[in-house]
Chains A and B, each alone.
Chain A
Amino acid sequence: MKKHLASLTLKRTTALLQAGALVIAAMLPALLLSNSASGDQLTNRYIDMSATQTSAGSGRDGGDAAGQNVTYTVAFDLATAHSNLEGIVIQFCSDSPIIGDGCAQATGIGLDLSSATVSQNTLGATADIDPSGWTVTNGDDDLIILDDATGISGSVGNTVAFDIDGITNPTSTGAFYARILTYDVNTNATGYTAGNPGSNIDDGGIALAVANELTVTARVQEVLEFCIGTEVDSSLAYATGEDCGDVSGTDLDLEVVDSNSIATTSTIDTPNDGIAMIRTNASSGAVMYYKAEQDTASGQLKIAGSACSGTDLDDPCFNSVGTTRAVIAAGTEDFGLALKERVTTTGGATDSIVCDADYRGDGTAGCTGAVAGNNYAWDDSGAFDTLASSSGPVDDELVALEFAATASPTTPTGLYTVTANFVTTATY
């Protein structure tokens, strides 16, 4: 019986202890809060990170500087009137923002405050309270304490703002936390520890996170478009958007050439200048060449299959101007080519092509004008000769090719022709 009573007593005792535990458990948050904070939660609080990349694989190991030397901009509004704000504590923890909880220091995830300094930020310049000039205590323990024995009075809603510079972000992705506490006694702030934060006024937690950088890679392939055709293609209007699809034809006709005048592909009854258009993304540019195909050992304008005899005026071959730009005079047998009326508006992105000095119709490198002074050149040797070039990318720039010829009184009658091979080479 006694044993039974004793047992009952024990049960009651257990029940009382259980009830007490429940009461204590119910009160614990209040007790903890009472222990950790005497004021309210800081409002409008945030930490703005100038970079959110991790510091892993960068900066410290010789890579780029991502996640290094980051600035954390700290700002908050006071929730309680401070008769004399003398201390601010910011602690970074990897596990919890709750004031008074144990703090798994963020150094464990690589956060490094050892080189951190505090400075005024642009927000701080207009903030109500700028503590950037206060004494800063920091180390590699994820804790920054700002204190000033003189302090400053703070009203409810006053904004406090400052920068923490020189921070190295955590090395791994994920969240971490900051605890911010304000004190009206600076020694309470300097005596802060995570488990015993001391008597503070306001406080608040902030969650932060670092993330991997998203690297997007792409490869732009080598581009070269070159076309040679004729101007009579009615779809080519020299307008934006024109491209090689608007250039066609491989034959030009100078029509009737006699000794009384200079026939040009621009001025004959049916003008039909040649058109060359280039597009390339080659960083070192492009060069447009031509060579006169050798027919019976020369690349002169000739009656097909005819042998030419030097500069004779009565052989079935037009004399060529040569590789140096020179004037063609009516009646003095000659054949030549000049570039003219270069247009950049078809592509619009570049103004790159420079006409070779021997083929500039208007005498300028840009060769945007008409042929002036009947200056032409023609290399009949069969070697490639440069017509135009660029030192960088070309966006659908086109240039007209004007051919010209005049006969001597003795140039034999007949149909004359010459074939040219145009090549553009891009250097990437």
Chain B
Amino acid sequence: MSGMKNTSKKLRSLSAALVLLFFGGITSLFNSANAADLVPRTILLGSSYASEVTTHTFQFLTATPSNIGSIQFQYCSNSPLFTDPCTPPAGLDVSGASISSQSGIVGFGVGGATTTSSLVITKAPAFEASVNVSYTFDDITNPSTSNSVNYVRITTYDNVNGTGAVVDTGAVVFITEDPFDVTAYVPPYMTFCIGVTVAIDCSSTVGFLADFGEFSTFTPSTATSQFSVATNDPTGYNTYINGQTMTSGANIIPNMLVQSASQPGNSQFGINLRSNSNPSVGSNPQAGPVGNGVVASNYNTPNQFRFVNGDRLAGAPNSSGFNRYTVSYLVNISDEQKPGVYAATLTYTSIASF
């Protein structure tokens, strides 16, 4: 009799266990069968670099109007499928994450169920309609492997801290990337051109011969040429002139050793880099963008001319955009000036020190 009682008790216990197992199974099936997909859903990283501490922003539309008490973001390196085991990405750490912004369903805080690879946010359960939500988390350490594919399984629960029935699910993917660098080298350079006329950016030059025509004892003879200079040398540039005065065999026209005005009837050869009215010749320097060159003082006075071999004509104290200078040449002759074809070869040199 006693044995029968024991058998009966055992059967009842077994039945109870079977009933529990059965209903447990049903509940489990119910949970998974009724979880709807979170569509659309996406993740945006503040940075995709490996091991970077950055923000992760999740946006999705909750699918099922239901009580919502918590949301789990489970990071996996192997699969987005909820039926698969989850391998946490190496180096990932969400344990120190904080919510920097939330919208849609709000009132969440980071839950105690959060681990290194699973971020759970929780709030008091409340019924929520289907709504677009957005959550931004700060201080998430990205996985440490570059160019790795990582999945985040998102699950909404009807109770706190990732408990209760699953409401909706969905997975998103992100990739860690290496920094992408673009490099360029800017060399030291100086652009310098000379001609009868030149474009201010030296894109064109015209001529190399300035012709005075026939000299006169009554009026000054003039001619012009131009040069333009730019450099990225932080110490700037200096432009010099080298050469001799005009000669015809053994006959010379004396150069003007000091700044002087034009004196027709007196033999003289000189230059300056300004716009002159007596005689009317030349132009003031023109500056392009960031052109900060200046004319040397010996050649910077209108109607005053000078020519000394090796003189500095112009310069800039630091890097400079283009400056175009117009050189005005002046020749006067006296009655005693010997006839002949007079010529001078002048060399302009611009130097940057770098």
Instruction: Please give the residue numbers on chain A whose beta carbons come within 8 Å of chain B beta carbons, in ascending order.
Output: 219, 221-228, 250-260, 263, 274, 280, 283-284, 293, 301, 313-314, 318, 331-332, 384, 403, 405, 407-428
B174 within 8 A of A: yes
Judging by beta carbons under 8 Å apart, are B182 and A256 in contact? no
**Residue from the list B48, B171, B186 in contact with A423, Cβ < 8 A:** B48
Q: Give the one of A301, A409, A422 with max B CB within 10 A.
A: A409
A390 to B140, CA, bound (A): 28
In the assembled complex, the CB of B72 is this many whole angstroms from the nearest CB of chain A, namely 17
Known: A313-B290, A415-B185, A426-B172. 9 other contacts (CB 8 A): A250-B179, A256-B187, A283-B40, A313-B289, A331-B201, A413-B232, A415-B183, A419-B182, A421-B179
Judging by beta carbons under 8 Å apart, are A411 and B171 in contact? no
**Complex interface: chain A residues within 8 A of B318 (CB):** 314
Cross-chain pairs A/B with CB under 8 angstroms, 29 sampled? A225-B149, A227-B177, A228-B177, A251-B181, A253-B184, A254-B183, A259-B191, A263-B184, A283-B40, A293-B179, A313-B289, A313-B290, A314-B290, A403-B182, A408-B289, A409-B322, A412-B234, A412-B319, A413-B187, A413-B188, A413-B233, A413-B354, A414-B186, A417-B184, A418-B181, A418-B182, A420-B180, A425-B44, A427-B40
**Complex interface: chain A residues within 8 A of B45 (CB):** 423, 425
A208 to B84, CA, bound (A): 42
A219 to B82, CA, bound (A): 10
A219 to B153, CA, bound (A): 14
A403 to B184, CA, bound (A): 10
Judging by beta carbons under 8 Å apart, are A408 and B48 in contact? no
A260 to B80, CA, bound (A): 53
A413 to B189, CA, bound (A): 8
In the assembled complex, the CB of B319 is this many whole angstroms from the nearest CB of chain A, namely 4
In the assembled complex, the CB of A226 is this many whole angstroms from the nearest CB of chain B, namely 5
**Residue from the list A260, A283, A422 in contact with B48, Cβ < 8 A:** A422
A223 to B221, CA, bound (A): 83
A280 to B188, CA, bound (A): 47
Judging by beta carbons under 8 Å apart, are B42 and A428 in contact? yes
A424 to B189, CA, bound (A): 40
Judging by beta carbons under 8 Å apart, are B44 and A423 in contact? yes
What is the number of residues of chain B that contact chain A, defined by CB distance less than 8 Å?
Answer: 52
Judging by beta carbons under 8 Å apart, are A301 and B184 in contact? yes
Instruction: Please give the residue numbers on chain B whose beta carbons come within 8 Å of chain A beta carbons, in ascending order.
Output: 39-45, 47-49, 79-81, 83, 147, 149, 151, 170-175, 177-189, 191, 201, 230-234, 288-290, 318-322, 354
A223 to B147, CA, bound (A): 14
A227 to B149, CA, bound (A): 11
**Residue from the list A221, A255, A427 in contact with B81, Cβ < 8 A:** A221
In the assembled complex, the CB of B353 is this many whole angstroms from the nearest CB of chain A, namely 12
**Residue from the list A221, A256, A408, A426 in contact with B42, Cβ < 8 A:** A426
A409 to B83, CA, bound (A): 63
**Residue from the list B42, B44, B47, B184 in contact with A254, Cβ < 8 A:** B184
Judging by beta carbons under 8 Å apart, are B182 and A428 in contact? no
Judging by beta carbons under 8 Å apart, are A428 and B40 in contact? yes
A250 to B174, CA, bound (A): 19
A82 to B104, CA, bound (A): 78
**Complex interface: chain B residues within 8 A of A274 (CB):** 180
**Residue from the list A221, A253, A427 in contact with B41, Cβ < 8 A:** A427
**Complex interface: chain B residues within 8 A of A256 (CB):** 184-187
Judging by beta carbons under 8 Å apart, are B232 and A409 in contact? yes
